[in-house]
Amino acid sequence: MKKLATGFATLAIAAVAFGNAASAAPHANSLDMSATEVQQLIQNEGSVILHTGADTFNRYVADGSNCLVGERTQNAFVPTADSSSAFVGYTCEENADEG
């Protein structure tokens, strides 16, 4: 029972940490910026909540150090002011190899 409680405590701490990291990330609209500007913003900030349309958004990162344990990076392409599909960095995806 103690092991189960410890697992829940660890999960709760991870959820709070991720929530704080995501809420602290700057927000931007990719359609208002060039591909180069979006890439630079993500590189400078490490993590950005990027709006890519009226009701679409995601968290984009500069590299895997901005992902949670058990996640891996996935190439991210989004529409920008000067491209319909520009590589801007990465998203964090659950690592399927992690059980």
User: Tens of pLDDT along 41-84?
Assistant: 999 999 999 999 989 999 999 999 999 999 999 999 999 999 99
Residue 24 has pLDDT above 50, yes or no: yes
For 31, what's the count of Cα atoms within 13 Å in the CB-facing half-sphere?
7
Can you count the helices (H) and strands (E) in the chain? 2, 5
pLDDT for position 4: 44
Q: Report the C-alpha gap between 99 and 95 in whole angstroms.
A: 8
Provide mean pLDDT across the span 21-42: 89
Q: Cβ(77)–Cβ(86) under 8 Å?
A: yes
pLDDT for position 49: 97
Backbone angles phi, psi at 11, to 5 degrees: -60, -40
Among residues 15, 61, 20, 18, which one has the least CA distance to residue 38? Answer: 61
